[in-house]
Amino acid sequence: MESKILMTGPMCLIENTSGRLMTNPEALKILSAITQPVVVVAIVGLYRTGKSYLMNKLAGKKKGFSLGSTVQSHTKGIWMWCVSHPKKPDHILVLLDTEGLGDVEKGDNQNDSWIFALAILLSSTFVYNSMGTINQQAMDQLHYVTDFFPDFVWTLRDFSLDLEANGQPITADEYLEQFYDFYVFLGTSQKDKNFNLPRLCIRKFFPKKKCFVFDRPVHRKKLTQLEKLHDEELDSEFVLQVANFCSYIFTHSKTKILSGGIKVNGPRKSPS
């Protein structure tokens, strides 16, 4: 019997209230009603880097996850949107949008650590989203790993570098591989170990790695109107890049699996 899932928009799954994380009972009811296997895509990254926009595109909607338009993190906790999988008719696509890491209002990174670890634990494909280029601050977040490692996708918004090395063009995947493979210090100091740890974690623990770069979607002054703009009003390269990203996620994201090869459905997915 197929699950009857009707979500017209996202719902908060993990609430962040005064620094305390709690599950939302109403969201758990929706998850528990899902009898089909679930494909779970979670996105994490610094605040104001366009995470919610990408998740709305995966949901096939212009609006849904709140985009926000200020320097404050607009999404709090972890928000869930369960939709029919566009490429797998017998599966449910569970999209998890997380609050932005590094929000100046938090004052510390304790919640960042929990949000990051939960997103990895819950997902079958884990998207790390950042702005500009791969940087050490982003790498430092990536040592939060769990027993069940999802596929890893790094997305880079407003990418401004030329993808080339030694005068030759390289792919986005090769750029990612260069960064975590080549930029490793050979020293033995604690500083060197701390610098190397995120890179070594990516290499060792994530079974599949993919990288996407995105041009700036539109002039900076129009970024606050992004969810209202039609594709023909956006940079054509950005539109193509987003389409390629969505196609990859739909095609390559796997059903969430527990140890022993158990496929996860709603009751198995619901956090307790």
Domain ranges of the chain: 11-61+77-257
Asked if residue 10 has pLDDT above 60, the reply is yes
The pLDDT-based confidence of 224 (bands split at 50, 70, 90) is: low
Tell me, what's the pLDDT at 144?
55
pLDDT over 60 (residue 146):
no
Mind listing the pLDDT tens digit for each residue in 73-123? 445 789 999 999 999 988 999 999 987 776 555 545 556 777 888 888 889
**Mode of pairing for the β-strands spanning 78-84 and 11-17:** antiparallel
Number of C-beta neighbours around residue 162 at 10 A? 8
Mean pLDDT of all residues in 229-255: 92
CATH code of the region 11-61+77-257:
3.40.50.300
HSE-up (13 A, CA, CB side) for residue 101: 23
The answer on pLDDT for 71 being more than 70 is no
Interatomic CA distance for residues 41 and 52, integer angstroms: 12
Pairing of strands 151-157, 209-213: parallel
Q: Are 128 and 45 in contact (CB under 8 A)?
A: yes
pLDDT at 5: 60
State the Cα–Cα distance between residues 149 and 138, nearest whole angstrom: 18
Percent of the chain with pLDDT over 90: 33
pLDDT of residue 106: 54
Report d(CA 179, CA 175) in Å as an integer. Answer: 6
Range among 117-121, 138-142, 195-199 rated most confident: 117-121
Beta bridge partners of 12: 79
What DSSP state is assigned to residue 46?
B
Residue 2 banded pLDDT, cuts 50, 70, 90: very low
Amino acid 69: pLDDT: 44
Q: What is the pTM of this model?
A: 0.84
